[in-house]
């Protein structure tokens, strides 16, 4: 069974769950009518099914490699990227003034998720460019925008972001890369960066790097960091890629997965760059790129989960093994295989719904500037990122289990999903950091944004009591339990909050997932979505109780042991 883009699921979620209609009702996104959105999803689905999905295995089997200082990409990737660029998919959400489609982030997120399911390694290339486009739109000078944005949006040039250094991972403020003013509007950037996704390729005319560096005399920590645009080739007087800049790819990382995506060690030796944003404003500018990248990474997790589910389902419908309780004669009639497949489908759908809820909040913030939407988007972002990527890992591993022994054999392709998605829980801020952000910065309002969402969940559950009481009541009760824990959490110190941060985020996602499934059951009670909703609410939602108990367990059991006792 080849990959099939779940276009119907996106349309259903848009229409019945996440409220895309309110986004379209704004002046900013009025042109994204249902007809337009449907056509975009359909065309993107064809691209994913016919162009990208066939590149999934070749990228894994024939990785990108470094040849005489140039990255050589996997077979077929150049043509695949060309199809993405020529279809306008790089600039989906970009400003139409520079050639973008100006689509809502909600629609963009759906397309990116489909691309991730089809071929995550290749999808990373346009995702990196999309993040850079957004950062330049918000922070770059007009001259930089006019030169770089049209070429990035068209896909003629590609973009990256350079944060991490060997000694400065999550602690970005510890970076040592430096920039010196050349006195002519340019800067000389020197330093080494690691883990640079798509730091080079052999199919775009230029690669544009956003690099964090520190000016002489700048204060320590994140406040002293500035952001610089450093192209692989310096544009000539006509705006075309000109002479090579003083930078190079030192090596490619040898990774457990994502073999088709070159992850580079970059060296800058007085490379020419241009400042983006204000001096010392590097982190603010980079976070413009990173916040939506976090939603994008959550979508990557959901996309891989979808791909792994479809792969496992095809195997289960074909594999004959043992006596079954059904009449197909294949392993899909075994109760435990059905449990795994139902779990995979239910978890993927819940994570997809949460990600799209977050995207709608981002779109409404963009369109209205309403601080309530901004707070909602801020709260949902770490949940969408962490839960989406956790589910990607869990579903991919479950897909291996559905395959049995054959899942451990690389030729079946099941293991690739698990290897490829593993890094998503790490990059753009580890999921532990996402959870800490949720219980600290995102709770500085005393839990107001969280309670507004819980109000909506409980109101929807109340409305469903008459028609679906067995599903509505558990969702209402779970929401109320989450509210009580939230009220307790905001009264705690940071160490206690951090000790319970990961289970709290997971519990919040569980309840949000229950809401997504309940609303789906309301709209499709007798269909497959209603049946999957019943499975999620009856079997998976109850997990929230143990998670909330962990949240309130305090920090004594974590900090009661000395470092020496850990090794005892």
Catalytic residues: 428
Distance from C-alpha of 151 to C-alpha of 160, rounded to nearest angstrom: 14
Q: How far is CA 223 from the centre of its chain?
A: 27
3-state helix, strand, coil in the chain (%, to 5): 60, 15, 25
Per-residue DSSP letter, 168:
B
> Across the strands, what pairs with 565?
none
Closest residue by Cα to residue 78 from 188, 185, 205, 236: 205
For 67, counting Cβ atoms within 10 Å of its Cβ (0-12 exposed, 13-18 middle, 19+ buried), the class is exposed
Compute, in degrees rounded to 10, the torsion defined by CA atoms 251, 255, 260, 263. Answer: -40
Rounded to 5°, the CA angle 159-165-171 comes to: 105
Distance from C-alpha of 174 to C-alpha of 405, rounded to nearest angstrom: 45
The structure tokens listed for 223 are 């406040």
Q: Do the beta carbons of residue 503 and residue 555 sit within 8 Å?
A: no
Closest residue by Cα to residue 198 from 121, 118, 289: 121
Q: Do the beta carbons of residue 309 and residue 341 sit within 8 Å?
A: yes
Closest residue by Cα to residue 163 from 107, 227, 113: 227
Q: Which residue has the tokens 């289970």?
A: 503
Q: How far is CA 220 from the centre of its chain?
A: 30
Backbone angles phi, psi at 460, to 5 degrees: -65, -40
Q: Which residue has the tokens 């486009």?
A: 133
Q: How far is CA 45 from the centre of its chain?
A: 19
3-class state of residue 179 by DSSP: strand
Q: Do the beta carbons of residue 216 and residue 280 sit within 8 Å?
A: no
Q: Are strands 206-214 and 157-162 parallel, antiparallel or unpaired?
A: parallel
């Amino acid at each position: 069974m080849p990959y099939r883009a779940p276009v119907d699921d996106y349309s259903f979620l848009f229409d019945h769950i996440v409220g895309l209609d309110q986004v379209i009702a704004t002046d900013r996104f009025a042109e994204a009518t249902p007809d337009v959105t449907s056509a975009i999803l359909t065309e993107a689905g064809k691209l994913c099914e016919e162009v990208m999905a066939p590149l999934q295995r070749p990228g894994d089997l024939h990785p990108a490699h470094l040849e005489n200082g140039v990255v050589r990409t996997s077979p077929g990737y150049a043509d695949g990227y060309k199809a993405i660029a020529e279809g306008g998919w790089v600039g989906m959400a970009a400003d139409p003034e520079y050639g973008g489609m100006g689509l809502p982030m909600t629609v963009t997120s759906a397309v990116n998720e489909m691309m991730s399911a089809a071929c995550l390694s290749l999808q990373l290339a346009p995702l990196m460019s999309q993040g850079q486009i957004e950062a330049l739109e918000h922070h770059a000078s007009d001259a930089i925008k006019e030169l770089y944005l049209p070429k990035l949006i068209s896909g003629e040039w590609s973009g990256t972001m350079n944060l991490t250094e060997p000694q400065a991972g999550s602690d970005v403020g510890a970076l040592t890369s430096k920039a010196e003013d050349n006195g002519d509007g340019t800067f000389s950037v020197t330093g080494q960066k690691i883990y640079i996704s798509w730091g080079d390729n052999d199919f775009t005319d230029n690669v544009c790097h956003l690099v964090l560096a520190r000016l002489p005399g700048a204060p320590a920590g994140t406040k002293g960091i500035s952001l610089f645009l450093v192209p692989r080739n310096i544009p000539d007087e006509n705006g075309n890629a000109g002479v090579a800049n003083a930078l190079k790819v030192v090596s490619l990382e040898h990774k457990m997965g994502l073999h088709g995506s070159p992850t580079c060690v970059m060296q800058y030796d007085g490379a020419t760059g241009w400042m983006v944003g204000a001096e010392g404003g590097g982190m603010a500018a980079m976070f413009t790129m990173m916040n939506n990248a976090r939603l994008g990474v959550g979508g990557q997790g959901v996309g891989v989960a979808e791909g792994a589910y479809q792969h496992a389902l095809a195997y289960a419908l074909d594999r004959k093994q043992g006596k079954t309780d059904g009449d197909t004669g294949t392993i899909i009639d075994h109760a435990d295989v059905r449990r795994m497949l139902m779990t995979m489908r239910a978890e993927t759908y819940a994570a997809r719904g949460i990600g799209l809820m977050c995207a709608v909040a981002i779109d409404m913030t963009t369109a209205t500037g309403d601080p309530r939407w901004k707070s909602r988007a801020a709260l949902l972002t770490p949940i969408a990122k962490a839960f989406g990527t956790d589910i990607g890992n869990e579903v991919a591993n479950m897909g291996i289990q559905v395959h049995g022994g054959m899942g451990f054999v690389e030729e079946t392709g099941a293991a690739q999903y698990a290897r490829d998605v593993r890094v998503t829980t790490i990059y753009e801020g580890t999921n532990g950091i996402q959870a800490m952000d949720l219980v600290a910065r995102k709770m500085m309002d005393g839990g107001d944004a969280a309670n507004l969402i819980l109000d909506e969940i409980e109101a929807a559950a109340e409305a469903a009591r008459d028609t679906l009481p067995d599903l509505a009541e558990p969702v209402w009760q779970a929401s109320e339990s989450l509210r009580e824990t939230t009220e307790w959490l905001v009264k705690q110190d940071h160490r206690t909050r951090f000790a319970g941060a990961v289970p709290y985020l997971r519990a919040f996602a569980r309840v949000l997932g229950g809401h997504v499934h309940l609303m789906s059951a309301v709209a499709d009670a007798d269909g497959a979505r209603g049946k999957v909703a019943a499975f999620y609410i009856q079997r998976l939602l109850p997990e929230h109780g143990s998670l909330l108990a962990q949240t309130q367990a305090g920090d004594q059991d974590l900090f009661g042991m000395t470092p020496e006792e850990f090794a005892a």
